[in-house]
Structure 1
Amino acid sequence: MNEEASVEQLDLFQIAKTLFGNKKQLSKFMLCVFAGAPAFVFMSLYVTLSPEFCAAFGITEKVSVGKAIMVYLISFAISDVLGGLLSKLMQKRKAPLLIYAIFQIIATIYFLYIPPNTVEQYYLRCIFLGFSVGCWGILITNSVEQFGTNIRATVATSTPNLIRGITIPATLTFSVLVKEFGLITSGAIIGFSLIAISILCILLLKDKFENDLNFYEK
């Protein structure tokens, strides 16, 4: 039993060394993480702060954060399925991700700079936001395909968690900016900055669609 535990610990150490001890692998891994930067930040900022944004838009009706999150996630899920079909149709990973990045720019402009007049119109904007980041399946698949079989599982589990972790510095930065620039401008700074980072990272990654994935990282 102790021998099995020792072997498992050795395997984990070797995986960590291969992924994080190699500058090339580490930089590629971080590109995969930041390629998904807007995904959870949109919900943690724009949707979670629905009462604050509705007040800034001049909406006097009471908004339900729960309903805003619900319509966002439903749209996200539908878009995720469609994104997978689009990737299959185009026979590419990067092109659909870049198309979604364009959707994110449009959705952010629509959300922040075309103010809704009613709560229903606000929910519609949440639907657009959710749809724009529904490239989750393509994003994680593309990340996994960048690496060899020996560290692929580690990348598949750690990439989503680190993408979620981006919300922490993003929300902290937002809380500082909002005191100086206000809610809308601060939301725009965070949103467009993350989209720009995401696009750059996507462009720097290779498209591995239907490439030979039977390789081993040394």
Structure 2
Amino acid sequence: MKDLSDKSTFQHLTSIPVLVASLGYLVDMYDLFLYNIVRVPSLKSLGLADDQLVKIGIGLLLNLQMAGMLIGGIFWGILGDKKGRLSVLFGSILIYSLANICNGLVTSVQGYAILRFLAGFGLAGELGVGVTLVVEILPKSIRGYGTTLVATMGVFGALLAFSIVHFFEWRVSYFIGGGLGLMLMVLRLRVFESGIFIKLKEANTRRGDLGLLVSNKTRILKYVTCIVMGAPIWFVVGILITLAPELGKAMQLGEPVDAGKAVLFVFAAQVAGNLVSGFFSQYLQSRKKVIFIFMAGSLLFALTLLLGPIEHATEYYILCLCLGFCSGYWTLFITVAAELFGSNLRATVATTVPNFVRATIIPLSSLFIFLKGYLVDNMNADINTGTLRAALITGLITYALGMVALLYLEETFKKDMNYIEEN
């Protein structure tokens, strides 16, 4: 382990481990939102009709991708605590890269579904283990800046996906994503292991054991509340943004809403949101206060989008900017998850929690589809009203649960990272 004690803040934040974790999340977000952008053109090129784009594109492919991330999060998180942070950084990016290249070669919906699952499985290890490595190697006074950098680079990954799709067709865009992952593997050869994990390994402590998590009521409650707290972010991404074309049509806007532009505006604004929330939490010395402010702002703009008298696509994009900024508490959410648990469970928690949050798109999209059908078939709502009301009800439930969960979480700003979870 290198001695970092005499380094400046800038040197800490530009060290190889921090940069590699940041670039890993960039690749992660590139793939996740590349699919959102190319969902319609890629499925149409495989022969699907317009009325199948939501059912197959969201109900099957996106849900399988998120299921892969859910399973992968558990696998990579346990591996990160048992074998080390570096083993995950190499294994996850290799699987993701190969799966993404194969995504560009797909010729059937069945093949596409399998590859989205595999890509999700590979990507699942990137964010949580990257954040774990960052919070363990940086001094606690600046680790909030480190995780802010990681999340901000991830947002640039979404913007990169939009830019690439603008110049290349969807198959080439997948090839580029796979190539970026393979190049990142080379840079990771220079990353050193977390000193906290090295000491943990030498002490032969029980680690990466789900029994430690589920056997203790306090730990499992903290774990679940972390997931619920992050769910509103994925409501914005998975419903309001991914389904932007369908929601825009339901609003009977003057022109169609483009999913790619919606992603661009959301994640361009999230760059600012990540930076502001990270620095604001350092200023206030509180994670919870800032998360509450951003979550409340997100709720306000979501209600404005679904209830307000929006008449033009431009207004939809403006609200996407606002929602993106308020979704910038993703950085703090991951940081809190990592800080809440000891080093022998930290990678497991930090890797599985964000992937469980991402996987909330499964119940959220299922609830949305159910409510839409129920309102249209049983409540005599027309298809446009049913779509908007289904999104509204789904959102209200998600935000209410998120705020209750935040209320019960402890403040972690000044918490020391060098501790373990006892049996």
Give the TM-score taking structure 1 as reference length. Answer: 0.90
Cα separation, 1, equivalents of 2:208 and 2:335: 23
Q: Which amino acid aligns with 2:349?
A: V
In the alignment, is residue 155 of structure 1 matched against residue 349 of structure 2? Answer: yes
Give the TM-score taking structure 2 as reference length. Answer: 0.48
In the alignment, is residue 116 of structure 1 matched against residue 320 of structure 2? Answer: no
Over residues 95-153 of structure 1, what are the superposed CA-to-partner deviations in whole Å (9 max), with x where a residue is unaligned? 11111121022111111111322111111111111112110111111111111121112
1:72 corresponds in structure 2 to 266
Cα separation, 2, equivalents of 1:12 and 1:196: 37
Q: SS of the counterpart of 2:328?
A: coil
Shift of the alpha carbon at 1:13? 6.9
Shift of the alpha carbon at 1:212? 3.0
The correspondence for 1:46, drawn from 204, 215, 240, is 240
Cα separation, 2, equivalents of 1:36 and 1:211: 20
Cα separation, 2, equivalents of 1:101 and 1:109: 12
Quick one: percent identity of the two aligned structures?
30
Q: SS of the counterpart of 2:254?
A: coil
Over residues 47-90 of structure 1, what are the superposed CA-to-partner deviations in whole Å (9 max), with x where a residue is unaligned? 11122211222213122111111111111222011110110111
Cα separation, 1, equivalents of 2:210 and 2:246: 42
Map 1:67-216; keep pairs closer than 5 Å: 67-181=261-375, 182-216=386-420
Gaps in structure 2 of 5+ consecutive residues: 1-81, 84-203, 376-385
Cα separation, 2, equivalents of 1:151 and 1:13: 6
In the alignment, is residue 24 of structure 1 matched against residue 24 of structure 2? Answer: no
Cα separation, 1, equivalents of 2:206 and 2:363: 28
Cα separation, 1, equivalents of 2:415 and 2:218: 20
Paired positions, count: 212
Moved over 6 A (4+): 10-13
Q: SS of the counterpart of 1:157?
A: helix
Cα separation, 2, equivalents of 1:105 and 1:31: 18
Residues 235, 361 of structure 2: 8 Å contact kept: yes
Residues 278, 331 of structure 2: 8 Å contact kept: yes
2:228 corresponds in structure 1 to 34
Shift of the alpha carbon at 1:188? 1.1
Cα separation, 1, equivalents of 2:206 and 2:389: 44
Cα separation, 2, equivalents of 1:67 and 1:164: 21
Cα separation, 2, equivalents of 1:14 and 1:163: 20
Over residues 4-42 of structure 1, what are the superposed CA-to-partner deviations in whole Å (9 max), with x where a residue is unaligned? xxx85x978752221233232112111111110111221
Q: Which amino acid aligns with 1:106?
A: L
